[in-house]
């Protein structure tokens, strides 16, 4: 798969997942936060800002999808062969955390003036980011080790074949 195809594929998948996860997580956390017996699909602040609950829900789903698209599509930087793992990680992290805050402020998930909430959300962002990054890193490292073992076996069999000829 070439780079452009990978970006398109991951972005499309990210858009769908972002819409779904953004909707579910917002509904669960907002409903639990207000705890008044009503199911909320958006924050009360965002509903008030938009003025129409259905339109607010649609906008939130689309914005969440765009955020997912940027996060997953942006992971394509890990396939730029000239980039180090550090450069790709820092670039992806800055892009996703920046887009997260823009999304969170726009959808009224958090207020820019609530510094403690912003820091708390940063911690909640970093923990899954590190878990996902580490799991992918270990998976790729395992695959590389397996390929290297196969290359050693292949090289040994080539030497054995050349000695018998």
**Of 23, 129, 156, which Cα lies nearest the Cα of 75?**
129
CA-to-CA distance for 165 and 114, rounded, in angstroms?
76
- pTM score of the predicted model: 0.79
Per-residue pLDDT of the chain (165 residues; tens, 9 = 90+): 888 999 999 999 999 999 999 999 999 999 998 889 888 899 999 999 999 999 999 999 999 999 999 999 999 999 999 999 999 999 999 999 999 999 999 999 888 898 998 999 999 899 999 999 999 899 999 999 999 999 998 888 877 666 665
CA-to-CA distance for 26 and 22, rounded, in angstroms?
6
- Among left, alpha and beta (phi > 0; psi -120 to 50; other), residue 2 is beta
**pLDDT score at 158:** 75
Domain ranges of the chain: 1-109, 113-165
């Amino acid at each position: 798969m070439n780079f452009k195809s990978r970006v398109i594929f991951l972005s499309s998948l990210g858009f769908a997942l972002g819409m779904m996860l953004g909707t579910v997580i917002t509904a669960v956390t907002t409903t639990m936060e207000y705890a008044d017996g009503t199911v909320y699909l958006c924050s009360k602040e965002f509903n008030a800002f938009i003025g129409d609950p259905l339109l607010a829900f649609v906008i939130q789903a689309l914005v969440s999808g765009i955020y997912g698209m940027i996060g997953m599509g942006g992971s394509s930087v890990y396939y730029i062969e000239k980039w180090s793992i550090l450069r790709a990680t820092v670039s992806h992290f800055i892009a996703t955390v920046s887009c997260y805050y823009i999304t969170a402020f726009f959808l009224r998930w958090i207020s820019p003036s609530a510094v403690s909430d912003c820091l708390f959300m940063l911690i909640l962002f970093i923990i899954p980011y590190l878990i996902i990054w580490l799991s992918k890193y270990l998976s790729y490292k395992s695959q590389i080790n397996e390929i290297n073992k196969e290359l050693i076996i292949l090289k040994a069999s080539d030497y054995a074949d050349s000695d018998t000829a």
